[in-house]
Structure 1
Amino acid sequence: MINNPFDSPKVMKRDFGLIPLYFLLLNVGQIIVLGIGLIVIETFHMKIPHNGNAIASSFGDIISFSLLFYIFYKMHQHYIIPIVLERIKQAKAYIWLVIITYIVYLIVDHAYSYALQFLPKHYQFEESQNQTMIIEQFNTPWLWPVLFLTTGILEPIAEELIFRHVLIHELGKKITYIGAAILSTLFFAVLHLHAGSSPFEFIPYLYAGFFIVFVYFKSGKNLVVSSMLHILNNSVVVLTIIYQQLFH
């Protein structure tokens, strides 16, 4: 039997430190890359690339997410590896749950996109501001593998760590899991809003968060399963953007 302290009704209070750390590290990673970049530019008398912000953001995210995962590992290093391996093993039984839920999500998403056309013009939108910002990063083809790694894989895992593990699994021990799930879904949607032009941009992230929470609970609060759905969605988005860049 694997020793799993997370199953204890006692709240892992230190894990709540991951929330401010997450936002802090997102800036730290970019600062590190910018600093290294400036040193290289000054040393070799190079010109600042026009896509410098995209480069700093992409490679900065790798540093940021890697630091977050490493810190979480150090916080629980005496037992985390066996727990993760066991969760991965258990996740195999939920592959169809993830696939079917993703298909239902796509149907809901297409239905919502269709319904938007019946709203007044100033409320309609084709892409949310968050999606627009992501698409702009793909203007540099050689960055695509890096963006797939960060946006498609690392970011979903990091967000699952924050929104599902901390805000549901740990906070739920105090305020009930249903209450924590509602807060997690709301915060998840708010995080993905970036000065949107329409208040209706909030809703797609709301039901996306709902579907992720759904598989999280259906799998017995298995973070690997919710990460699988999140990674699947983000990876498809990334590959779709790359396809559009190549053939449109």
Structure 2
Amino acid sequence: MEGNMNYFEIFKDVSVVFFIAIPPWLALRKYLKNYLNRAFLTIFFITYIIATLLTQNVFPFILVVLCFYFAIKMKDNFEVLYYLRPIKEKKTEIILYCLFFRFIIYIINVFYASLLEYVGIKVKAQDIYEIFLNAGWIKVIFLFAMTVVFAPIVEEFTFRHILYRGLSKKIGKQLSAALTSFLFALIHYNLAGFVSFFGIGIYNCYLYEKYGYRAAVVNHFIFNFISVLLILLIKIFNIPTVMT
């Protein structure tokens, strides 16, 4: 059993490298190779991968920010700049849509989790749920930043800005949205929340197309913020086990 768990943890680490670390690196590399030689890039890459495995999305977040800095500074191609555009006057509209979406997807996922229980499949909250409840407050603050700030920026960069945008040119927007949303749900390794994660993926593809990358990040931020806020309320007031 423990051996199986070790293999599972290794598989999770591999998926973190493949889906979280590699896309920002490849995007930044095209800018860095103008300034750094191949040997230094190799050292940079190895150090970056190790740092990502130790800190999850902290270093990928830094690389994503650098990607946007170079893209804007160097006036990257029109398509990239178009999807990175500010949302400006649409901000309030997008936030209201995202709050409504959060409510709807929560209701849908409650029914989905109930259905799983009904057919005899035991549902379990994400590991992050237990970590938040049991961790000290210093770690909770760090996890809050990781979950609410870093994760939306990095994951939307990978799954919408890189994967969805790239695949949509080859297999069409609808199929690309379905495939990348399925992958997005899959790497969260949580059956009980699968419908929520898949729904976020689909809706964020829509937001990405209509309003750009920043709108997708806003929705992801709101979803994670509300989820973490509920967990913190449970922690603060010692509320008995509640699925969030």
Q: How does 1:117-196 map to 2 (within 5 A)?
A: 117-120=117-120, 123-127=121-125, 131-136=126-131, 139-193=135-189
Which residue among 210, 219, 232 is the counterpart of 1:229? 219
What residue is the counterpart of 1:213 in the other structure?
202
Distance 1:215 1:65, change over 3 A: closer
How much does 1:117 deviate? 2.6
One-letter identity of the residue aligned with 1:28? A
Structure 2 contact 181–199 (Cα < 8 Å) conserved:
yes
**1:29-62 deviation digits (Å, cap 9, x = unpaired):** 455xxxxxxxxxxxxxxxxxxxxxxxxx4xx643
Structure 1 contact 98–215 (Cα < 8 Å) conserved:
no
Aligned partners of 1:170 and 1:155: how far apart in 2? 21
Q: Name stretches of at least 5 consecutive residues in structure 1 with no aligned partner.
A: 1-16, 32-56
Distance 1:85 1:177, change over 3 A: closer
Structure 1 contact 61–150 (Cα < 8 Å) conserved:
yes
TM-score between the two structures when normalised by the length of structure 2: 0.66
Distance 1:72 1:220, change over 3 A: same
Q: How does 1:12-27 map to 2 (within 5 A)?
A: 18=23, 25=48, 27=50
How much does 1:84 deviate? 7.3
How much does 1:191 deviate? 1.0
Structure 2 contact 84–214 (Cα < 8 Å) conserved:
no
One-letter identity of the residue aligned with 1:232? I
One-letter identity of the residue aligned with 1:18? P
What residue is the counterpart of 2:13 in the other structure?
none
TM-score between the two structures when normalised by the length of structure 1: 0.65
Percent of paired sites with the same residue: 21
**1:170-227 deviation digits (Å, cap 9, x = unpaired):** 221122111211110111012111xx6xxxx1x6334433344225325615222221
Structure 1 contact 185–209 (Cα < 8 Å) conserved:
yes
Q: How does 1:63-74 map to 2 (within 5 A)?
A: 63-74=59-70
Distance 1:64 1:223, change over 3 A: closer
What residue is the counterpart of 1:89 in the other structure?
88
User: Are 1:100 and 2:100 an aligned pair?
Assistant: yes
How much does 1:88 deviate? 2.4
Deviation beyond 6 Å, 4+ runs, structure 1: none
**1:131-164 deviation digits (Å, cap 9, x = unpaired):** 1245325512112222211111110111011111
Q: Name stretches of at least 5 consecutive residues in structure 2 with no aligned partner.
A: 1-21, 28-44, 239-244
How much does 1:235 deviate? 1.1
One-letter identity of the residue aligned with 2:123? F
One-letter identity of the residue aligned with 2:175? G
One-letter identity of the residue aligned with 1:70? L
Aligned partners of 2:105 and 2:157: how far apart in 1? 21
Q: How does 1:42-81 map to 2 (within 5 A)?
A: 57=55, 61-75=57-71, 77-79=73-75
Q: How does 1:32-47 map to 2 (within 5 A)?
A: none
After the TM superposition, which of the residue ranges 157-166 and 138-147 deviates more from structure 2? 138-147
One-letter identity of the residue aligned with 1:204? G
Structure 2 contact 57–146 (Cα < 8 Å) conserved:
yes
Distance 1:171 1:240, change over 3 A: same
Distance 1:209 1:90, change over 3 A: farther
